[in-house]
């Protein structure tokens, strides 16, 4: 078996995430859907011993895969497990430990390097634990920041995507007390630029319509509850409109998400993590996808964490992982058509 050329199905790498979390489980369960292999060739960056453990532990004996030690020997019609370590690792579902972080990082490093080298076409990252993965080689709040450095981009956008909702954030994994200082006109314009470009390039929307949230309750209530809307956000949006972009706001986040206003927009830009992710996950938790916009490569992930509490119990839903795989393929296809 040999690696696909660029005219065949894309190769999509899947990082295993924390081997003690739900990552391996949702990977296996999503790839049991045979339709996926008709669109692309999945490659799990892990060890067949990990996949075999969960296959047996979860009684998913109908899941079949092809083992390989190199991308020059894959089966384009099957799920491939790329063995990137040989040692025996004790798997302890639901436990946060050093091994979970060590092998999650090993998988991420190998997959992202292959992506950078052009050996695969996209990656889908299973959940990591942001605590046990920390090391000399990983000193980041999460996948997004690691990949931004790996692919040498100055800025990117955490973009949560579902069939009905697309939400990005100006500030991501930072303490809430630090958010106001990071809300600048320049930051807002940079995130809007990335969102608009992605909606055009990755989602095929020729003239995206964007809603922007305010920072303060009631969008500042005309300065009574804060002046960022009048002094920073509003002027930035006015400048974008003058440049021909369809950007609107700032809107009070509670009223905006509490009504059906979001249905009128192609993308929504929130000011901080929870302002955007709480409504998104409330409406699209099991089928939402985290997409990193602004990278020269394609990366998606499910919108949930390691979920130690249900790991190894066959209780997790694979829907978000499956949607992450499909989105990676859809974005690849859209970029191919637009290139």
CA angle centred on 167, ends 209 and 284, rounded to 5°: 120
Check whether 7 has a pLDDT greater than 50: no
- pLDDT tens per residue, range 143-184: 988 999 999 999 999 999 999 899 999 998 899 999 999 999
Q: Structural domain tally of the chain?
A: 2
Instruction: Please check whether residues 7 and 146 belong to one and the same domain.
Output: yes
Instruction: Please check whether residues 47 and 134 belong to one and the same domain.
Output: yes
What is the span of the domain harbouring residue 44? 1-153+295-339
Instruction: Please check whether residues 129 and 27 belong to one and the same domain.
Output: yes
- pLDDT tens per residue, range 280-331: 999 987 789 999 999 999 999 999 999 999 999 999 999 999 999 999 999 9
Instruction: Please check whether residues 11 and 143 belong to one and the same domain.
Output: yes
Q: What is the average pLDDT across 41-50?
A: 97
CATH number at residue 254: 3.40.718.10
CA angle centred on 198, ends 193 and 200, rounded to 5°: 100
DSSP annotation of 10 reads P
- pLDDT tens per residue, range 59-102: 998 999 999 999 999 999 999 999 999 999 999 999 999 999 99
Q: What is the average pLDDT across 185-198?
A: 98
Confidence of residue 5 (pLDDT cuts 50, 70, 90): very low
Instruction: Please check whether residues 78 and 198 belong to one and the same domain.
Output: no
Instruction: Please check whether residues 120 and 210 belong to one and the same domain.
Output: no
Instruction: Please check whether residues 125 and 230 belong to one and the same domain.
Output: no
Check whether 1 has a pLDDT greater than 60: no
Task: Compute φ and ψ for 242, nearest 5 degrees.
Answer: -65, -25
Q: How far apart are the first and last CA of the chain?
A: 29
Reply yes or no: is the peptide bond before residue 250 cis, omega within 30 of 0: yes
Q: What is the average pLDDT across 251-266?
A: 92
Q: Is residue 206 within 8 Å of residue 178, measured between CB atoms?
A: no
- State the Cα–Cα distance between residues 2 and 161, nearest whole angstrom: 33
pTM (two decimals): 0.93
DSSP annotation of 58 reads T
Q: Which three-class secondary structure state does DSSP give residue 311?
A: coil
Instruction: Please check whether residues 184 and 332 belong to one and the same domain.
Output: no
Q: What is the mean pLDDT of the chain?
A: 94
CA angle centred on 215, ends 209 and 220, rounded to 5°: 105
Instruction: Please check whether residues 198 and 119 belong to one and the same domain.
Output: no
- pLDDT tens per residue, range 264-288: 999 999 999 999 999 999 998 778 9
- State the Cα–Cα distance between residues 134 and 238, nearest whole angstrom: 41
- pLDDT for res 309: 96
Partnered with residue 2 across adjacent β-strands are: none
Instruction: Please check whether residues 6 and 147 belong to one and the same domain.
Output: yes
């Amino acid at each position: 078996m040999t690696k696909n050329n660029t005219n065949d199905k894309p190769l999509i790498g899947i990082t295993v995430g924390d081997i003690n979390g739900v990552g391996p489980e949702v990977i296996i369960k999503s790839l049991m859907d045979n339709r996926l292999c008709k669109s692309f060739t999945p490659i799990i960056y892990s060890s067949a011993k990990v996949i075999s453990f969960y296959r047996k532990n979860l009684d998913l004996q109908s899941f079949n895969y092809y083992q390989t030690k190199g991308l020059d020997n894959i089966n384009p019609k099957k799920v491939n497990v790329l063995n990137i370590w040989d040692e025996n690792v004790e798997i302890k579902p639901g436990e946060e430990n050093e091994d979970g972080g060590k092998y999650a990082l090993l998988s991420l490093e190998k997959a992202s390097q292959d992506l950078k080298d052009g050996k695969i076409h996209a990656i889908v990252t299973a959940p990591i634990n942001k605590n046990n993965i920390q090391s000399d080689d990983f000193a980041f709040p999460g996948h997004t920041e690691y990949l931004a450095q790996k692919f040498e981009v100055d800025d990117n956008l955490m973009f949560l995507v579902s069939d009905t909702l697309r939400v990005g954030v100006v500030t991501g994994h930072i303490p809430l007390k630090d958010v106001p200082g990071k809300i600048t006109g320049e930051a807002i314009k940079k995130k809007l630029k990335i969102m608009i470009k992605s909606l055009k390039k990755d989602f095929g929307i020729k003239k995206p319509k964007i809603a922007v949230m305010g920072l303060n309750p009631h969008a500042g209530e005309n300065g009574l509850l804060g002046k960022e809307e009048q002094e920073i956000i509003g002027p930035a949006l006015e400048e974008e409109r003058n440049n021909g972009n369809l950007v609107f706001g700032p809107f009070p986040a509670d009223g905006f998400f509490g009504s059906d206003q979001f249905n009128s927009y192609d993308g929504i830009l929130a000011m901080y993590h929870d302002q955007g992710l709480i409504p998104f996950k409330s409406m699209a938790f099991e089928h939402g996808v985290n997409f990193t916009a602004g990278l020269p490569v394609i990366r998606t992930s499910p919108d949930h964490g390691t979920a130690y509490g249900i790991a190894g119990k066959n209780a997790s839903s694979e829907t978000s992982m499956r949607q992450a795989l499909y989105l990676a393929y859809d974005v690849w296809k859209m970029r191919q058509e637009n290139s």
